[in-house]
Structure 1
Amino acid sequence: MPTQSPPETKARALGINHVALEVDDVNAALDFYSQIVEFSLRGRHESMAFIDLGDQFIALMEKRTQSPDKHRHFGLVVDDKNTVKKTLEALNVKLLPGEFLDFIDPWGNRVQIVQYSDIQFTKAPHVLRGMGLKQLDKSDEAVQALADKGMAPEKNLGQ
């Protein structure tokens, strides 16, 4: 059977919509993370909960099966990394050695706390230009969701 060549053009990766974390108990996970950071609950469905992060979210899902993460991790962006560090220390959460603020949650998920001001997180027009994109439209539903939170763009990003 002949193999097919991939198309010459590829879709452009633009970001991450959500991260799913497996936990043993969603209520316990919500309690744990609510002690560390302020967040809103986007919703719940069966054995899942969704922590709202603006136009992104974290999905907490019951039934973790793998061993604790050693290197695999996700970066959680916060407005004040030092406050999170103090909170983790006050909660006796063991911080991992290294140059970053990493810890393992009670279910084995490795989390890296990242300071918003230190990273290129927003997709502002100058960032879009740096990515080689002239325009990044949002669907009407996404614009409305942002508007509901007071974050509606004045016009499509990048224009």
Structure 2
Amino acid sequence: MPDSTKPRAIGFNHIALEVGDIEDALAFYGRIFDFQLRSKSKTMAFIDLGDQFIALQAGRKQPADDGRHFGLVVDDKEAARAALKAAGVKPLDGPFLDFRDPWGNRIEIVGYDNVQFTKAPNVLRGMGLTHLTKNESAKKELAEKGMAAN
């Protein structure tokens, strides 16, 4: 039984990435992904992910990330692979589709069909992604937790 005195972690609202320059970062990510810009200033930009977002913040100071990364879920992993190639971005060696942006942020591309993560039907509808489905492995994982997959 969960400890009722502690809050339960239930998801992410956003991820913040430190980049060198906001305009350069928007141009870089715009070569790879189709996204909706929520807002921006000289030091911040916010990219919508439906009910979540990525915050880009100017001022990266640390060296490139190695193991530290986040998995960015996309509607079409193979289209992401092609977009990385077209943008001249070489994926990192390994079993996953990982890359580093020009500021050293490490990002793993994950297909929506293959994750235990689901978007609510109203969010998928708002994003124009009602056609997305889960593969059998993801459906099984969701079923084991008592969560229905779309």
Match of residue 143 from structure 2: none
Q: How far apart are residue 123 of structure 1 and its match?
A: 5.8
Match of residue 138 from structure 1: none
Instruction: Describe the superposition over 1:8-67 as per-residue Cα deviations: whole angstroms up to 9, x where unpaired.
Output: 532111110000000001101001111111100011144100000001000000000100
Number of residue pairs matched by the alignment: 125
Q: Counterparts of 1:62 and 1:150 in 2: how far apart (Å)?
A: 27
Q: Counterparts of 1:94 and 1:53 in 2: how far apart (Å)?
A: 24
Match of residue 14 from structure 1: 10
Structure 2 residue matching 1:60: 3-state secondary structure: strand
- The answer on 1:116 being equivalent to 2:112 is yes
Picking from 34, 37, 42, the partner of 1:41 is: 37
Picking from 85, 90, 94, the partner of 2:90 is: 94
Q: Is the 8 A contact 2:22 2:42 kept in 1?
A: no
Picking from 21, 24, 30, the partner of 2:20 is: 24
Q: Counterparts of 1:108 and 1:41 in 2: how far apart (Å)?
A: 22
Q: Is the 8 A contact 2:50 2:127 kept in 1?
A: no
Q: Counterparts of 1:91 and 1:150 in 2: how far apart (Å)?
A: 24
Match of residue 135 from structure 1: none
Counterpart amino acid of residue 20 in structure 1: A
Q: Counterparts of 1:102 and 1:123 in 2: how far apart (Å)?
A: 23
Q: Counterparts of 2:109 and 2:86 in 1: how far apart (Å)?
A: 16
- Runs of 4+ more than 2 Å apart: none
Q: Counterparts of 1:68 and 1:78 in 2: how far apart (Å)?
A: 23
Match of residue 140 from structure 2: none
75-84 or 39-48: bigger deviation: 39-48
Q: Is the 8 A contact 2:63 2:104 kept in 1?
A: yes
- The answer on 1:55 being equivalent to 2:62 is no
Q: How far apart are residue 77 of structure 1 and its match?
A: 0.6
Q: Report the RMSD for the aligned CA atoms in angstroms.
A: 2.3
Provide the identity percentage.
56
Match of residue 68 from structure 2: 72
Q: Which runs of 5+ in 2 are unaligned?
A: 129-146
